[in-house]
Amino acid sequence: MPTCACAWRKKPNRMSTPTRFSSYFTAPWLTTIIIAVAAMVLISGPIAAQSHLLDSARAAGTVGERHDGIAIIRAGASEEVAQIVKNINDQRLAIYRKRAAAEGISTEAVGQIYAKQIFQKAPTGTWFLNASGQWVRK
C-alpha cells in the first residue's frame, strides 16, 4: 500500500494530452489544403498527358501551329490527336479571350503574342503556318 497520497493519483497518458502541435494537425484549413492539392493533381494529370501527346504529335509533324496561336491538324493525325488539338484550342481561346478583355485588345493580337511564346517552347521539328500561308519547320 502506498504511503503517500501522491501515489494514488493517476498519471496522465502522454498520448491523450494535447500538445502545442495537436491543434495544428487537426485544423480544418489543413484538410482544405490537402483536398485542394489532391484536386489539382487529379485535374492536371489529363492536361499534362494532353500536352505530352501534343508535343509528340508536333514533333512527328502531324500537328502544327498557326501564326495566331492555334494548333492545327496536319496529314496523318489520329482521332485522338484531333480531339486533343480541339481541347487545347478551346483552352487557348478561353485564355486569349480573357486576356484580351483584361488588356482591351483584340483576341487575335493576344493569340499572336502567345504564338511567339509557343514557337519558342515548341520542340524541334514542329511545323508552323505563317501569316502568308507557308509551312515552316522549326
Rounded Cα gap, residues 125 and 64, in angstroms = 10
Q: Return the pLDDT at 110.
A: 93
What pLDDT does residue 78 have? 85
Residue 108: the pLDDT is: 92
According to the model, what pLDDT value does residue 56 have?
A: 83
Q: Where are the domains of the chain?
A: 27-137
Look-up of cell digits 483552352: 91
Helix axes 107-121, 79-103, angle to 10 degrees: 130
State how far the Cα of 72 lies from the Cα of 63, in Å rounded to an integer. Answer: 6
38-55 pLDDT, tens per residue?
555 444 444 445 667 788
pLDDT value, residue 123:
82
**Reported pTM:** 0.61
Give the residues of the chain that fall short of pLDDT 50. Answer: 41-48
> Which amino acid belongs to residue 134?
Q
